[in-house]
């Protein structure tokens, strides 16, 4: 029984981390869209260095989300099966 409680705690932690990471990633998507102003006629004014940094961070976050999704699925299967 004690092991089951530990597993539920791990699941709660993983879900919280997923939610926090998803929130950060969503914020980055909005920020990238803002910097990539589609109405800017002079493309040399777009801050591509900033976009590159944000895109790399977004890539890291999406990779983390994929890992967490798998981890959550496995923990849920362990709890239910």
Q: pLDDT by residue (tens digit) across 34-44?
A: 999 888 899 99
Confidence band, pLDDT 50/70/90 cuts, at residue 1: low
Tell me which of 1 and 52 has the higher pLDDT. Answer: 52
Percentage above 70 pLDDT, the chain: 99
> What does the pLDDT average to over 60-81?
95
Helix, strand, coil tally for the chain in percent (to 5): 85, 0, 15
Q: What's the chain's average pLDDT? A: 95
SS3 47: coil
DSSP letter assigned to residue 41: S
Model pTM?
Answer: 0.87
């Amino acid at each position: 029984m004690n092991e089951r409680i530990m597993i539920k705690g791990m699941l709660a932690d993983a879900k919280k981390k997923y939610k926090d990471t998803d929130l950060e990633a969503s914020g980055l998507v909005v920020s990238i869209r803002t910097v990539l102003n589609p109405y800017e006629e002079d493309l040399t004014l777009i801050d591509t260095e900033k976009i590159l940094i944000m895109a790399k961070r977004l890539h890291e976050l999406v990779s983390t989300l994929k890992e967490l999704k798998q981890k959550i699925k496995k923990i849920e299967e362990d709890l239910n099966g």
